[in-house]
Amino acid sequence: MLGAGLAATAFLGFSALPVHASSHREAPFITRQPKVDGTDFYMFRSYEAERSGYTTLIANYIPLQDAYGGPNYFSMDPDALYEIHIDNNGDAREDITFQFRFNNENKDTKLTVGGKQVSIPLIINGASDINAPNATGLNVRETYTVNIVRGDRRTGTRQAITNASGGATFDKPVDNIGNKSIADYASYAAKHLYTINVPGCETQGRMFVGQRKDPFVVNLGETFDLINYKAPATAFDPNAERSATDTLADKNVTTLALEIPTSCLTSGSEPVIGGWTTASLRQGRLLNPTPASANASKEGGAWTQVSRLGMPLVNELVIGLKDKDQFNHSKPNGDTQFLDYVTNPTLPALVETLFSSAGVTAPTNFPRNDLVTVFLTGVQGLNKPANGTPSEMLRLNTSLPPTSGAQNRLGVIGGDNAGFPNGRRPGDDVVDIALRVVMGKLCRLNLGCTPNDAPSGDIEFTDGAFLDSSFFDARFPYLKAPLPGSVKH
């Protein structure tokens, strides 16, 4: 376990303040494309019993889903390319990419009405219970394929991931419409958890793609209402950590989850891997003025990246408004263009302005090179690769053992080196961690700055929305079943 000082260092700089909705609707353009909006990315050593030799990757998309959001609910975009990237040699370029493509088949169920066959308006038809993949009660079947690409994401070697029987097409469960349509959603969704063959890996992995309860916990409305919290107190109040409502408590997301043998992700003797997610659309879109079913537009041209997510909260609370779309289109090897947002962050100054009457003062050490170290390189002795190009991504030291029942929600600064920012688990409270560090926790420990640089560094900031590992399942895919659109039986 790292010493207290280094443990705290590990946390630095991935956000810049009161935080929130890790990456929900974080940039102007992505608000117009919710189906490709990446909301959260998790990467951690699997802590399910007997699975410590695996690494779990979870990419969530489509934010703020209301469970009752019919009649079409929240299918993935068949014209998009969803990707999870792994850099296993520190050069800020993808070495392994998992590519997901989706397809929606309209079965066009018809009813005889007045002697005529008429297409029904819903994605379910009521013909039978929905309790298995491609159930007869579904009017729309959503499927997907997954490729693994080694090397450059566009020009590297591409191979299909298959199920245990060798098939390359997988069924995605329909969203949790309600208890009348799907009596036991957890059992139904579990039938879409696949054992997979990953080319180049001697051991099989697992995969699940489907709707889940949004795992991110945050006091969202008050955060963006000029941090409308109760002023932080210099004396810690244990009740403060549970004083606010989780704004996302009634929201779902769509999850792409992979559990891959760790040996298939690392390279040589280097145990540290970096990861991030993206989504891309075709450059061109031609709208059809007289669309037939599923032909409302025609897509063409090269893939263009429109969403990017590695560390939580970066684009939301670090990158300036004018550059948020640029960040979503960028790659890690070009991240020096955003350096000023880390060395001279604006959000701590905003916190000081809003809470100056309570004596809150932002750190004064500029440039914030301490943040640069963690933000772009990883922390020496924790998750910094032996050779690395400065870049923003989630980094995981796969040689450190996972922590299961004894997880600390504050991750590394709470003494748990298997947690954030050494990767990220669903139970890591990145909001409270970021709040405490950005306002000078490390300076109070003489890590890259001095106590005098951070008069407010000892305040245990919190947004009041509590989160820990008890909020999640202890088995893959770890995230809870989605909330139902209707709870009536």
Nearest to 466 by CA among 406, 409, 407, 415: 409
**pLDDT band for position 10 (50/70/90)?**
very low
In tens, the pLDDT along 82-117 reads 999 999 999 999 999 999 999 999 999 999 999 999
Q: Is residue 7 part of a domain?
A: no
The answer on pLDDT for 258 being more than 90 is yes
The verdict on residue 120 lying in a domain is no
Q: Which of 31-45, 265-279, 433-447 has the lowest mean pLDDT?
A: 433-447
Query: What is the average pLDDT across 199-224?
Result: 91
Non-local (6+) Cβ contacts of 418 within 8 A are 44, 45, 47, 400, 401, 402, 403, 407, 425
The DSSP code for 23 is T
Q: Kindly state whether residue 487 falls inside one of the protein's structural domains.
A: no
pLDDT of residue 346 exceeding 70, the answer is yes
CB within 8 Å of 239: residues ≥ 6 apart? none
3-state secondary structure of 156: coil
**The pLDDT of residue 128:** 81
17 has pLDDT over 60: no
Residue 25 lies in a domain: no
In a domain, 23, yes or no: no
Q: How does residue 356 score in pLDDT terms, banded at 50, 70 and 90?
A: confident
Q: What's the rounded mean pLDDT across residues 438-449?
A: 76
Sign of CA dihedral 38, 461, 219, 476: positive
Q: How many domains does the structure of the chain reveal?
A: 1
Encode pLDDT of 159-193 as tens digits. Answer: 999 999 999 999 999 999 999 999 999 999 999 99
pLDDT reported for residue 239: 75
pLDDT higher than 50, residue 18? no
Share of the chain above pLDDT 70, in %: 92
The pLDDT of 258-270, averaged and rounded, is: 97
The pLDDT of residue 2 is 44
Query: Is residue 476 over pLDDT 50?
Result: yes
In a domain, 476, yes or no: no
User: Is residue 35 domain-resident?
Assistant: yes
User: Which pTM was predicted?
Assistant: 0.92
Amino acid at 114: G
What is the model's pLDDT at position 294? 65
Q: In the structure, what pLDDT confidence band is assigned to residue 120 with cuts at 50, 70 and 90?
A: very high
User: What pLDDT, on the 0 to 100 scale, is given for residue 22?
Assistant: 64
Residue 467 predicted with pLDDT over 60 = yes
Task: Give Cβ neighbours of residue 165 (< 8 Å, ≥ 6 apart).
Answer: none
- The domain of 63 spans 30-108+140-453
**pLDDT value at residue 243:** 80
Residue 63 has pLDDT above 60, yes or no: yes
Residue 474 covered by a domain: no
Mark 167-195 as b/e (b = at least 16 C-beta within 10 Å).
eeebbbbbbbbbeebbeebeebbeebbbe
Taking the C-alpha atoms of residue 143 and residue 374, their distance in angstroms, rounded to an integer, is 39
pLDDT digits (tens, 9 = 90+) for 399-442: 999 998 889 999 988 889 999 989 999 999 988 888 887 887 77
Q: What is the pLDDT of residue 162?
A: 98
Instruction: Indicate whether 236 pLDDT > 90.
Output: no
Q: What is the mean pLDDT of residues 212-232?
A: 79
- Average pLDDT rounded to a whole number, residues 292-314: 88
